[in-house]
Amino acid sequence: MADLVIEREILIEAPVEVVWRTVTEPDQMSQWFADRVDLVVEPGAHGYMQFGDQGGPVVVETVDPPARFSFRWNHPREEEPVAGNSMLVEFTLTPEGAERTRLRVSESGHELRAWPDAEKQRYADEHRGGWAEYLDRLASVLAKPSR
Amino acid sequence: MTALADDELWSAIGDPSRRQVLDLLVSNGDVSASWLAGRVPFSRQAVAKHLAVLEQAGLVSRRKQGREVLYQVQAGRLDQAARAMADLAAQWDRRLGTIKRLAEAAHAQAKKSEAPAPPSNQT
């Protein structure tokens, strides 16, 4: 599988259970990820995330508290998200002592070539030019002070 | 932000084998498909396919020299791809930073209230 993979990690001075709640609870997610998060944190659950005036569906893949949480997003509407039409975002939490947690995230996938042309066109129109600009827009959305 | 990465660019750099071909081109300059095929663990046909995709995405160009076709990297386009990838990584760094801030604040709050907290008996 030809995948684009981005991996990042951070060390957090808090117990793994606290980090788990921050990563997975929708009201917390709306502070670090999307503006609005409608999501039931259960494997296979379909949800929705709103970024500014745009949004998209997400599907929860793995929920293994307090160690692993993953979801797929950026897949074409009216299709089940699978490898090949979506991005997989995967969080891994590792306790390092009682009050410290290593949090890793990876984002992989995004084989837009597999999409039908009409869907590619729609995606391109919606995101006006591409993934990088989309991310840049997200960055400005997320850079605003939370609450 | 003016650098845009389109679908083709992402697909082109998303494949590890293609990145390997790209790496060889970056460090060795003008080389032929058969030279590349001698240095990668996949077939000549696969090399030709990867080169075609990279060329389509504007990441490499080719020129004829005598009977040989030589490939080279298009630096501007590659830089654009690298920046787009760096942006994606930076985006996650910002998100992780926010998670850290939220989790550490929640933890500090919980520790504070470990001391017998006044009951919240409000009417």
Instruction: State the pLDDT at residue B121.
Output: 59
Cα separation, A147 vs A32, in Å, equals 11
- Residue numbers in A near B88 (CB within 8 A): 6, 107, 131-132, 135
In angstroms, the CA B84 to CA A20 distance is 29
Closest CA–CA distance from residue B66 to any residue of chain A (Å): 35
> By CB neighbour count within 10 A (0-12 exposed, 13-18 middle, 19+ buried), where does B55 fall?
middle
Averaged pLDDT, A128-134: 39
Q: Say how many residues make up chain A.
A: 147
At B45-66, the pLDDT tens digits run 999 999 999 998 888 999 999 9
Tokens of A31: 């502070």
Residue B73 three-state SS: strand
Q: How far is B69 from chain A (nearest CA, A)?
A: 27
pLDDT-wise least confident of A94-98, A134-138, B9-13, B92-96: A134-138
Query: Would you list the domain boundaries of chain A?
Result: 4-117
Distance from CA of A71 to the nearest CA of B (A): 15
Q: Are B59 and B40 in contact (CB under 8 A)?
A: no
**Best mutation site among A32, A88, A122 for testing chain B: the one with the most B CBs within 10 Å?**
A32
Measured CA distances, A143 to A36, B93, B97 (Å): 15, 12, 11
Residue A95 has pLDDT above 90, yes or no: yes
Do the chains contact at A132 and B100, CB–CB below 8 Å?
A: no
Domains of chain B, first to last: 1-110 (1.10.10.10)
Q: Annotate chain A with three-state secondary structure.
A: CCCEEEEEEEEECCCHHHHHHHHHCHHHHHHHCCCEEECCCCCCCEEEEEECCEEEEEEEEEEECCCEEEEEECCCCCCCCCECCEEEEEEEEEECCCCCEEEEEEEEECCHHHCCHHHHHHHHHHCCCCHHHHHHHHHHHHHCCCC
Q: Widest CA span of chain B, in angstroms?
A: 91
- Domain A4-117: assigned CATH number: 3.30.530.20
- Is the CA virtual torsion A104, A56, A117, B60 positive or negative? negative
Residues 59..98 of B with a Cβ closer than 8 Å to A: which? Answer: 83-85, 87-98
Q: Which residue carries 């508290």 as its tokens?
A: A65
pLDDT digits (tens, 9 = 90+) for A32-91: 998 889 999 999 999 988 887 777 889 999 999 999 999 998 766 667 777 767 788 999
User: With an 8 Å Cβ cutoff, are A13 and B88 in contact?
Assistant: no
- Which H helix or E strand runs over B31? strand B31-32
**CA–CA distance, A35 with A55 (Å, rounded to integer):** 9
Q: Is 50 exceeded by the pLDDT of residue A128?
A: no
- Asked if B89's CB is within 8 angstroms of A22's CB, the reply is no
